[in-house]
Amino acid sequence: TVLTLIFTVSCDNPANSDDHELHEHAEGAVLKMNGGEIVRIEDGIVQSGQIEVTEGEETPLITIYFLAEDGDEFQPDEPDYSLRWNQINESIAEVEQHDEDGKWSFHIHGLASGNTTVKFRLWHDGENHSDYNTPEIDIIVN
């Protein structure tokens, strides 16, 4: 009985488990809009999709989910993680993130007809570095 109790307690103790980390490690990402997947990134490349928006308008809410090594989607819930972006031609389109959208959601606002790209970063504020960068994602403004 004592051995069973020790085994049960040690299995329930997160400090003894290699499966428990402070946060998941991102291996890819998925962008979703209106519940449907619009972009999938795996193995360091955009496997499918692009972002399309009409000039003078903005997309519905787009939400990013990061992919763990096993393919599970996640969003870090630690307060020192945020979403950042770069490599976008802001004369064609811009990323808009409103407080009410949440920290993993945003809109793309089409400013002028043309094509540009954007790279999203899983930013670790406390360490002042990116834990994951997407490759360039195509944005088409019609």
The tens-digit pLDDT sequence of the chain (142 residues) is 443 433 344 444 434 333 334 457 899 999 999 999 999 999 999 999 999 999 999 999 999 999 999 999 999 999 999 999 998 999 999 999 998 999 999 999 999 999 999 999 999 987 789 999 999 999 999 9
Work out the end-to-end distance of the chain between its first and last CA atoms, rounded to an integer number of angstroms: 70
Place of tokens 């094509």: 115
Residue in 102, 108, 45, 40 with CA at minimum distance from that of residue 75: 102
Strand partners, 65: 30
What is the C-alpha separation between 108 and 83, in angstroms, rounded? 14
The pTM score is 0.81
- Pairing status of strand 137-141 against strand 51-53: parallel
